[in-house]
Amino acid sequence: MYQKQRTIKSPAKVEGIGLHTGKNCKLTFKPAEINSGVYFIRKDLKDSPRIKADIDNVVDMSRGTTLGNGDLRVHTVEHVLAALAGLQIDNVDVELSDNEPPVGDGSAMLFVDALLKSGIVEQSADKEYVVIEEPLSYSEPDRSVDLVVTPSDDLRITFMVDYRNPALGTQYTSLVNLEEEFVTEFAPARTFCFLSEVEYLKKEGLIKGGSLSNAIVIYDSDKGQIEVDRIRKALDLDENAFVGKTGIINDIPLRFPNEPVRHKALDLLGDLYLIGAPIKGHILAARSGHKANVALARKIRELQTKQKIRSKYKSSTKEAFLDINGILSIMPHRYPFLLIDRILELEPGKHVTALKNVTINEPFFQGHFPGHPIMPGVMILESMAQAGGALLLEAIDDPQSKIVYFMSIDKVKFRKPVLPGDQLRITLEMKAFRRSTCKMSGKAYVGDRVVASADFMAMVVDR
């Protein structure tokens, strides 16, 4: 895999109709600066609004991947993104004259050919990879969908589908090397659907640009040519269509014996590109589609965010999200008032789990109480507040230049004394965050038992 970021040498243009909208669209790839990523630009709208190819901007996954922001939409972006992912291009602007890229022949080759003709150049900045260090997974048991990602030095994809259809059956494919395999073995794989889906898709206002020249249509009825003619008449199609001996309408030859599953891997590659960084990991997929792909991409994005924070604060242990060195980097507190020892889990702006080891060496035990040491309730609350401060500071830009002031503490309950030798496990959840003010709800545990709980309101101010 390439180590430097990449863009294209010069603009690259393609034109054609969109698969679902049926509208003609001119698409132009343009070079972009380092660290800019990929933006779709609607040149047909006032002020040419831009939308980033980012997992947070996905608004629909029903029959393709749609990006949205307010009223702005760009439909069916997965083949464009698969071309960029497969060619390992990091930074490019994608200008559109309408809301859906051209479908071409139903594969990614329209875009791959244009990008290769333009030429690809390395840039001065290094790529930032998402490195899979431990297995993670996503599944939908009701649909028998499973996705697992395991550690690997490079990106690998293993994909399996089983459609219970004689024309398809069980299919399997494996992508091992992007540079050697993508352009010839995966980019040409075309999209496909079953004959039984065509009528439904038309009724839903989709596949207005679909035809037998840009999709493989697979026969899945027992009524023979009668069913094909019925659907053809209902849809007012001009094309001739017959059942065929292969189970594919019009006996259109496949480019690969397992072309459908290769196209599924192509879609997966495009959807995962929305993470915003290439992956070093082995993805094993079974019966996955856009919805599951995007769900997996969101889980990998969470991992990416955690890796960036750990790197930023130089945490040195895998046993904790942030060790004491990381905490010292993010928190303004120092002895004797730094009360959290580890952050086990932190999802910025959502939740945090921290540990406080309670020892007899704590200064407050000298006076609270001699001969009967009990951790003061106010110190338990302070420990919870410090964990909340870590959560809040990582939800904003430039946290080292900020400090957290707590404005109120409500619904405080102490349920059990905390003694020397106990370990406090503190969890806080962000309830609301507007401008510089937030509300958090927290609990402190010893073992599995809640020892304290409270709601906090805090404000972020400049140091």
For the chain, give the percent of residues with pLDDT over 90.
Answer: 70
Q: Which of 265, 293, 310 is the last residue of a domain?
A: 310
pLDDT in tens, 100-148: 999 999 999 999 999 999 999 999 999 999 999 999 999 999 989 999 9
Residues 43 and 182 in one domain: no
Residues 255 and 323 in one domain: no
Residues 230 and 162 in one domain: yes
What per-residue confidence (pLDDT) applies to 427?
97
Question: How confident is the model over 192-209, as a mean pLDDT?
Answer: 83
Is residue 236 included in any domain, yes or no?
yes
Rounded to whole angstroms, the Cα distance separating 172 from 385 reads 52
Question: How confident is the model over 433-459, as a mean pLDDT?
Answer: 94
* Order of strands across the sheet that contains 72-74: 58-60, 66-69, 72-74
Mean pLDDT of the chain: 91
Expressed as residue numbers, the domain containing 103 is 4-125
CATH of the domain at 145: 3.30.1700.10
Residues 204 and 346 in one domain: no
pLDDT in tens, 94-106: 999 999 999 999 9
Residue 183 DSSP one-character state: I
Residues 53 and 30 in one domain: yes
Residues 96 and 189 in one domain: no
Domain count across the chain: 3
Residue 312, φ and ψ in degrees, nearest 5 = -60, -40
CATH of the domain at 71: 3.30.230.20
Rounded to whole angstroms, the Cα distance separating 40 from 297 reads 19
Select which of 20, 75, 263, 290 is catalytic.
290
Q: Which of 310, 327, 360 is the last residue of a domain?
A: 310
187-201, 263-277, 287-301, 384-398: lowest mean pLDDT where?
384-398
Rounded to whole angstroms, the Cα distance separating 79 from 96 reads 14
Is residue 105 included in any domain, yes or no?
yes
What per-residue confidence (pLDDT) applies to 316?
61
Q: Which of 125, 154, 184 is the last residue of a domain?
A: 125
Residues 145 and 285 in one domain: yes
69 pLDDT higher than 80: yes
Dihedral angle at the C-alpha atoms of 333, 336, 337, 342, nearest 10 degrees?
A: 80
84-98, 237-251, 439-453: lowest mean pLDDT where?
237-251
Pairwise pLDDT comparison (444 vs 243), residue with the higher score = 444
Is residue 131 included in any domain, yes or no?
no
Let me know if 372 is a catalytic residue. no
Residues 244 and 324 in one domain: no
DSSP string, 12-51: EEEEEE-TTT--EEEEEEEE--TT--EEEEETTSTT--EE
At position 28, the amino acid (one-letter code) is: T
Pairwise pLDDT comparison (207 vs 398), residue with the higher score = 207
Is residue 130 included in any domain, yes or no?
no
Give per-residue burial for 15-33: e unless 16+ CB within 10 Å, then b. Answer: ebbbbbbbbebbbbbbbbe
186 pLDDT higher than 70: yes
- CB count in 10 Å sphere of residue 158: 17
pLDDT tier at 315 (50, 70, 90 boundaries)?
low
* Whole-number Cα distances in Å, 345 to 115, 130, 190, 306, 397: 41, 18, 42, 9, 19
What per-residue confidence (pLDDT) applies to 213?
87
Residues 222 and 337 in one domain: no
Residues 145 and 67 in one domain: no
For the chain, give the percent of residues with pLDDT over 70.
Answer: 95
Question: How confident is the model over 273-293, as a mean pLDDT?
Answer: 96
Rounded to whole angstroms, the Cα distance separating 293 from 283 reads 11
292 pLDDT higher than 80: yes
Let me know if 368 is a catalytic residue. yes
Residues 223 and 321 in one domain: no
Indicate the pTM of the whole model.
Answer: 0.82
Question: How confident is the model over 322-341, as a mean pLDDT?
Answer: 89
CATH of the domain at 379: 3.10.129.10
14 pLDDT higher than 70: yes
Rounded to whole angstroms, the Cα distance separating 413 from 180 reads 62
Give per-residue burial for 359-370: e unless 16+ CB within 10 Å, then b. Answer: eeebeebeebee
379 pLDDT higher than 90: yes
Is residue 356 included in any domain, yes or no?
yes
pLDDT tier at 218 (50, 70, 90 boundaries)?
confident
DSSP string, 258-324: THHHHHHHHHHHHHHGGGSS-EEEEEEEES--HHHHHHHHHHHHHHHHHHHHHHHTT---SSSSB-H
Rounded to whole angstroms, the Cα distance separating 295 from 301 reads 10
Is residue 270 included in any domain, yes or no?
yes
Question: How confident is the model over 232-256, as a mean pLDDT?
Answer: 80
104-108, 174-178, 319-323, 420-424: lowest mean pLDDT where?
319-323
Is residue 41 included in any domain, yes or no?
yes
Residues 279 and 317 in one domain: no
Q: Which residue has the tokens 């390439």?
A: 2
